[in-house]
A = this chain, B = another copy of it.
Amino acid sequence: MAVANLPVVAVRIALAQINPVVGDLAGNAAMITTIVNDLAQRNAADLVVFPELALTGYPPEDLLLRPAFLDDVHAAINSLAQNLALPSVVGAPLRAAQWNVAFQPSSDSRDRSPLGADFFSPVLNAAVICGQGEVLGVATKRFLPNYDVFDEARYFYRGEGPATVVTIAGQRCSVVICEDVWIADGPAHEAAQASDVVVVVNASPFARGRRGERHAVVSHHARHTQTPFLYLNQLGGQDELIFDGASFVADATGAIVHEMPSAQVAVHVVTVENATVSVDHPSSPVTDELGEIYDLLTLATHDYVTKSGFHSVVIALSGGIDSAIVATIAADALGPQNVTTIAMPSRYSSEHSLSDAYELARRQHIACHTAGIEAGHQAIAGTVGDALGHEIAGLTDENLQSRVRGVILMAWSNETGSLVLTTGNKSELAVGYSTLYGDTAGAFAVIKDVPKTLVYELCRWRNQRDGVEVIPLNILEKAPSAELRPDQRDDQSLPPYEILDPLIERYVDFDQPVAQIVAAGFDEEVVRRITRLIDLAEYKRRQSPLGPRISGKSFGKDRRLPLTNRFRG
């Protein structure tokens, strides 16, 4: 706290909420350099902070096992130390031996086999405080998340204390990395006790409800140590993870006094003056959860496509609600001129499906082509029927239709260089209501973590956003159907989505036992049937494309079940 008669000292700390690309060391270093040198030229900051592993992007996964990658990181960080015109906190993986940092023994045999290890160089998750030709300090991460989507014990050794503190403009600034702030009486507490302001650098992926937890834990430390905390998060889509940004500042009372935007790049400068904080931008708290999810899915789609070196996408438009929201998100992410849709009617498609699809494309200025599947369906059904000695029917024939669509879509993709976006939602993916190599064929599954009921909400939200009905009401109002046999409707094989979605959430997201779900009021027969479907569909999910995670448990690397698995329950 400020004490009377002390000289006023103030440090201006820029929080750079950037969107790096994993593995693009040159590009990320250039982005970092531009931001720092612009702030320096405007004399707008004394210290610039970048997120956890900003130089490599997070998470670099097994790139961390490649010596060439670590060599290049080492060269890049040394070059940044020379070229940055202000002291800056730059997250990067460091070989302990090259930086002379302390670490704790590993908890496996990699470096302690009686046979002697191969050449082995421990790596730490670090943040280098450097610039103006010097290295002022190196902060290292002491607790390593190895749960949910995280595998840090695979890559890193644990760092050791004491806290890393540098004095900038007369203020003691400490640096703490991500997981370390989640430990009671741990590194963040120590750092606060040794400094005037704590900077926490993070790569914290979005999940619904996560932001409240971030606020609570940081507020706790700030309040208990009477020290301001600056929490900086990465932005952007990286494979299945969405980093929402939404960095924030807690003052010395623990109040969240400033929030940076979600889903947008931003650089805000926080002035810390005798334990009081002020910021050069207005606060941007998120007030609309649906809007945030929509924007984050848009960001994730944009980033997956463009960071992979593509600029356009192609989508199968069925006239249903799932492909409608995916096409709309894609148009918002990439511009309607970069979205192509293909309507692929079958002998079972209703006329309104086609007209609804065309109307959606028309309203959003998206190209829509038509490629009926009848010829392909008939030809292959004939070939297979001849070889089998009988005509195919039922599920085999339904899957065949879906796969002919997949083949057409992939041919379009091959010929035009557009990535295929798939349109399956989380409810379908959960129960296996999809065809492997059919509607699951594609590069990115935009709504794979969005339950069907939320798909409806997002459509309505988007229609209300600008007061323009970009998704025709017809599409929202008709009964969902795969249209793979006459008069098919989803509710013939599944319970209503208002029951299915919460049931899936309990079994998948919360790992609740069947008995507990039944005790909560669900019909036992339905619970047994649906949980069995969920278990049996694991093989389809394993070969499905990745897509952005918005829940606490998606069908991604946060859920790792064996395929060969006889457990039911």
Contacts and interface: CB of A to CB of B under 8 A. Distances in A.
A65 to B, nearest CB: 6
B184 A114 contact: yes
B384 A513 contact: no
Interface stretch (A5-13, A388-396, A487-495): A388-396
Q: Which of A22, A71, A153, A566 has the most CB of B within 10 A?
A: A566
Contact of A107 (B113, B143, B217): B143
A363 interface: no
A356 interface: no
A411 B437 contact: no
Interface string A53-89: 0000001111101111101100000000000000000
A412 B388 contact: yes
A380 B407 contact: yes
A115 B216 contact: yes
Number of copies: 2
Given A147-B154, A239-B563, A415 B437 contact: no
A198 interface: no
A408 B384 contact: yes
Contacts of A221: 114
Interface string A129-147: 0000000000000011111
A100 interface: no
A107 B183 CA distance: 10
Contacts of A564: 21-22, 237-239, 303-304, 307-308
16 contacts: A22-B567, A63-B562, A66-B569, A68-B513, A72-B567, A107-B143, A108-B147, A112-B183, A114-B220, A151-B560, A308-B564, A370-B387, A376-B379, A392-B411, A400-B411, A543-B544
Interface of A: 21-25, 27, 59-63, 65-69, 71-72, 107-110, 112-115, 143-147, 151-154, 158, 179, 182-186, 213, 216-217, 220-221, 237-239, 303-304, 307-308, 342, 369-373, 375-376, 378-384, 386-388, 392, 395-396, 399-400, 403-404, 406-408, 410-412, 414-416, 436-437, 441, 443, 511-515, 539, 542-546, 559-567, 569
